[in-house]
Structure 1
Amino acid sequence: MAKWGEGDPRWIVEERADATNVNNWHWTERDVSKWSEDLLRKLLLDVKVENAEGRCAVTEVTEIEGEASCNNRKGKLFFFYEWSIKISWEGTETTTGVKGEGTVKTPNLSEENRIEDVDIIVSSKQDHESTLLLQLMNTVGTEEIRNVFATYVTTMKSEFTQGMILSSQNAVSTEHGGFHADRVYQQTDGIAAPVVSKATTVGVKIPTCVVTLSEKFQACPEDLYQVFTREEMVQAFSRAPAVVKAEKGGQMLMLSGHVTGQFIELVENSRIVMKWRCRDWPDAHYAIVTLTFLDRTSETELRLECRGVPASEEEATRDGWRRYYFESIRRTFGFGASLF
């Protein structure tokens, strides 16, 4: 502690020409309430569920009250959010055509509760009561809404981590597939925030490998390209909420946050390059994924190169792309069933 009358240099911001938050010592706060409300509305309105008995969809977000903020203190990030949400749903039974509607209330979406502990209260209107549709919303619908909440939290932390943490002596760096090898990452509560620094990098390099695959689809390059760049199509084949901003520097999040990344290059109907990682990879480690779309007259050959994959994840990555991307795309859009 500084002596009385002697200013601690960590607190002297106003005397710096750049007003830099030295070593991230000060408490800085960013209000992300409006951003959160917009994202929650968008994700919730995309919720659609069905089974053999019927299908239901969220039709309106009737109430959303609360706030959210991102805070930095001493180089650590804290996310605070508290929301009370009410939505309306409608559905139709498959065999009888009976229609139903109701509401879903969530009074306690906050950082104090784990996603699985958040209350989701489903009800139906008495004059539109359908036991089958109410059961569908209470099971599959509740699960999808929890996925939305998980996606919201993951996206918020990914979106607002950058810029909140500045370079400091405690930053660590990792090898991440050759992408921006001079970038330093600040580790905070499991969140890795990239910051540019000229400091000497430290840390442990992990062994990596390159995963390559080649698949053929009965579709033209234009249609297959859109499958990876249109949010609603990604949500369709992944069967989960997704965030896809198909532009240079745009974010990508799918499978309830299990896969995240950022678009580096997009050549329409020809090539996509993105920074890409799985949630259970080492913190801040990304691979570089290149998707090349080749027109083969009556079909499209898709070539995948995933460079910088942790060596221990080689088979899991290869199987994941085949199962959760290629096979699911074929089933969802009817682009052919054969693998080669």
Structure 2
Amino acid sequence: MAKWGEGDPRWIVEERADATNVNNWHWTERDATNWSSDKLKSLLLGLSVENEEGRCEVTEVSKVEGEASINNRKGKLIFFYEWNLKATWTGTSNAGVKYKGTIEVPNLSDENDMEDLDISISLNKDEPDTALISLMRTKGADKVRTVLGSYVGFLKTEFTQGMILPTANGITKLQSTSQSKAKLDKTQISSTSSTAAPINTGVKIPTCKFSMKDIFLTSPPELYRVFVNQEMVQAFTHGSATVDGERGGKFRLLEGNVFGEFTELVPDEKIVMKWRYNNWPCEHYATITLTFLDRSSETELKVECRGVPDSQEEQTKEGWKRYYFEAIKQTFGFGARLF
């Protein structure tokens, strides 16, 4: 038993201004149902796919039934969500003929992986046969699966902000088991911890330049938005991020290991930024230029890197491939071949 005046620090409340849930020891719960309902509707509404037969778009989300909540105990977040969804899609053939059908997802749940979702897509009974139903059952279903996966990402990042409170010694505990693993992976993007002080060499360092390119199955405007929209950056990095998508705006992502500033923005065409890893010499930034080229139903992304420290060339290349290219494709379903 603790001596008088030496209480268990988990219960000491005077060090917090609000005097609540010190060290995240107590069980707290947050209802995410209303937020989730709005988020699911916004993600599904307007979703579209097209091919040589025509174009299809989700025009109404008629059913969002279920619930979602997040529990915090001892600094660990436990997610619960279960949804039954129904939406209407409208197709327009190249001949101008319109069709209607439904999308049903009865088992969006924390107990099911995205690959296990039942996505049922059909034409309305009074509609004639059309090749657009095949488009919806292939590309359409894949895109539905992708946006529902992004909902889970937003739930675990955007909605959870503030649930893990600072502890008595000022350190915030990790948010969840899955995020803990992600954090360990992401810190490998630099050779030192993100909390370590940057090295100030006081001298010029040898640098290099290189370029990379990749193909994404989406349009230039969609891919451009992935880099400048904070919610989308949080989705593909699976963590909190700060992104001010304007010229002169700052960004910080991947647990603070990557940060910089947008120096030039040409909507849907080009992004130029000052960019660095946390462990680079103090105040040293590379210049990264992203060019978005329209390749019909695809977008070619060219990445030119100048001023990268020689010793960091391979690490920087691998970081862009893994934490940008591959992560974006997996999160948003833009997968395609690498050059």
- Residue number in structure 2 paired with 1:66: 66
- Residue number in structure 2 paired with 1:286: 257
- Residue number in structure 1 paired with 2:84: 84
Separation in structure 1 between the aligned mates of residue 262 and residue 63 of structure 2, nearest angstrom:
41
- Residue number in structure 2 paired with 1:275: 252
Change (3 A) 1:161 1:255: closer
- Residue number in structure 2 paired with 1:236: 221
- Matching residue's letter, 2:103: V
- Matching residue's letter, 1:292: T
Change (3 A) 1:183 1:255: closer
Separation in structure 2 between the aligned mates of residue 288 and residue 113 of structure 1, nearest angstrom:
34
Change (3 A) 1:289 1:52: farther
Moved more, 111-120 or 305-314: 305-314
Are the counterparts in 1 of residues 71 and 79 from structure 2 also a CA contact under 8 Å?
yes
TM-score computed with the length of structure 1 as normaliser: 0.63
- Matching residue's letter, 2:259: I
Post-superposition Cα deviations, 1:283-327, rounded to whole Å, max 9, x if no partner, equal: x353103221289xxxx9853222117856401455689989xxx
**What's the C-alpha RMSD, in Å, of the aligned pairs?**
4.4
- Residue number in structure 2 paired with 1:26: 26
Change (3 A) 1:205 1:68: same
Change (3 A) 1:301 1:237: closer
- Which residues in structure 2 correspond to 1:248-267 (within 5 Å)? 251-254=230-233, 257-258=236-237, 262-263=241-242, 265=244
SS in 1 for 2:78: strand
TM-score computed with the length of structure 2 as normaliser: 0.63
- Matching residue's letter, 1:26: H
Change (3 A) 1:234 1:30: farther
Change (3 A) 1:153 1:21: same
- Which residues in structure 2 correspond to 1:145-164 (within 5 Å)? 145-164=144-163
Separation in structure 1 between the aligned mates of residue 59 and residue 92 of structure 2, nearest angstrom:
13
- Which residues in structure 2 correspond to 1:133-172 (within 5 Å)? 133-168=132-167
Q: Answer yes or no: is 1:93 the counterpart of 2:72.
A: no
**What is the deviation of 1:187?**
5.1
SS in 1 for 2:34: helix
SS in 2 for 1:238: helix
Change (3 A) 1:256 1:322: closer
Q: Answer yes or no: is 1:190 the counterpart of 2:178.
A: yes
- Matching residue's letter, 1:131: T
Separation in structure 1 between the aligned mates of residue 141 and residue 90 of structure 2, nearest angstrom:
14
* Structure 1 segments unaligned to the other structure (5+ residues): 172-181, 193-202, 215-232, 246-250, 278-283, 325-340
Are the counterparts in 1 of residues 157 and 234 from structure 2 also a CA contact under 8 Å?
no
Are the counterparts in 1 of residues 233 and 241 from structure 2 also a CA contact under 8 Å?
no
Separation in structure 2 between the aligned mates of residue 294 and residue 48 of structure 1, nearest angstrom:
26
Are the counterparts in 2 of residues 147 and 256 from structure 1 also a CA contact under 8 Å?
no
